[in-house]
């Protein structure tokens, strides 16, 4: 109960009720950040629990559409208890992709369930010029990282995000795209015709691209204890909103090609009874129709 009350407090604070300087380190001024140009280093940070079928699409996109003008480190936080995710990571270990380095990070299940823990660790340890915090239902298809690297030349922004994504309609569990038993473990690609462009209005959980110097200085909700505490089940990702509040930025849109996302009604990683999951799916479907 105390954890819920603490999270509610920080969600309220992030609405502008309190200054972020009370709860986190000072974001370095833009003049204190490197304005990198040339071949940039970009780190992608994702988490996977019970979403191995989505992760296979994400990692496949890096094999099928490797970068030419940037060096990408792909950091995946996972738990050894999630055997299907382990199998996906083992499968992709066989691929040596030019410009791509795999970085699998094994953590305890309860640490994985609080996504802010892994994101904070990655932020503080990164050697990259920019860090893209994302989710494993996002794919980086043709031209994605090359266009991003071009857009980031010489920039010192705190936080940027893609101008648009290409997304599916809200998919149910029986969709051939996301059925767990749809295909054996192999490289997976999608038909772009099944995706429609969607403009993005701010940085959100899957689309937060932060300057590396900012990451190393402030982490990811580093000093907010409740958002760095392990959880018994996969916790709602309230830390993303708090993170943007601490950065005092909703992000700046930049042109990025090839950003694709599988939108899905079921949030299976959160667990719960079947009736609860169906209720969540119904609510998400209704919200999608109302937007």
User: What is the mean pLDDT, run by run of 10 residues, along the chain of 291 residues?
Assistant: 70 72 89 98 98 96 98 98 97 97 98 97 98 98 98 98 97 81 81 97 97 98 94 90 95 98 76 47 41 48
At residue 242, the 3 state secondary structure works out as: helix
- The interaxial angle of helices 239-247 and 2-12, nearest 10 deg, is 40
- Kindly report the pTM of this predicted structure: 0.90
Region of 99 please: left (phi>0), alpha (psi -120 to 50) or beta: left
Sequence-ordered alpha helix ranges (H) in 41-197: 52-64, 83-92, 109-112, 115-125, 144-151
Distance CA 189, CA 177 (A): 10
Closest of 116, 120, 114 to residue 233, by C-alpha: 114
Secondary structure letter of residue 15 according to DSSP: I
Distance CA 278, CA 242 (A): 28
Compute, in degrees rounded to 10, the torsion defined by CA atoms 56, 57, 60, 62: -120
Give the pLDDT confidence of 161-197 residue by residue, as tens digits: 999 999 999 998 888 888 766 567 899 999 999 999 9
């Amino acid at each position: 109960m105390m954890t819920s009350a603490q999270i509610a407090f920080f969600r309220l604070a992030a609405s502008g009720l309190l200054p972020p300087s009370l709860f986190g380190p000072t974001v370095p001024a833009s003049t204190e950040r490197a304005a990198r140009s040339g071949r940039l280093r970009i780190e992608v940070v994702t988490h996977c629990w019970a979403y191995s079928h989505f992760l296979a699409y994400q990692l496949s996109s890096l094999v099928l559409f490797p970068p030419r003008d940037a060096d990408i480190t792909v950091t995946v936080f996972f738990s050894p208890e999630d055997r299907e995710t382990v199998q996906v990571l083992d499968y992709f270990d066989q691929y040596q992709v030019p410009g791509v380095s795999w970085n699998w990070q094994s953590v305890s299940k309860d640490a994985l369930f609080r996504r802010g823990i892994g994101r904070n660790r990655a932020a503080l340890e990164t050697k990259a010029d920019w860090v893209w915090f994302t989710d494993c239902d996002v794919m980086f298809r043709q031209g994605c990282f090359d266009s991003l690297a071009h857009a980031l030349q010489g920039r010192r922004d705190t936080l940027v995000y893609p101008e648009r994504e290409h997304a599916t309609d809200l998919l149910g569990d029986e969709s051939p795209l996301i059925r767990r038993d749809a295909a054996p473990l192999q490289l997976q690609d999608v038909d772009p015709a099944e995706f429609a462009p969607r403009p993005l209005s701010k940085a959100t959980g899957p689309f937060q691209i932060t300057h590396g110097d900012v990451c190393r200085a402030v982490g990811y909700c580093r000093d907010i204890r409740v958002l760095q505490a392990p959880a018994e089940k996969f916790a709602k990702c309230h830390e993303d909103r708090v993170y943007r509040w601490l950065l005092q930025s909703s992000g700046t849109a930049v042109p990025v090609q090839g950003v694709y996302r599988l939108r899905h009604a079921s949030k299976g990683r959160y667990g719960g009874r079947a009736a609860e999951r169906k209720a969540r799916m119904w609510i998400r479907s209704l919200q999608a129709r109302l937007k």
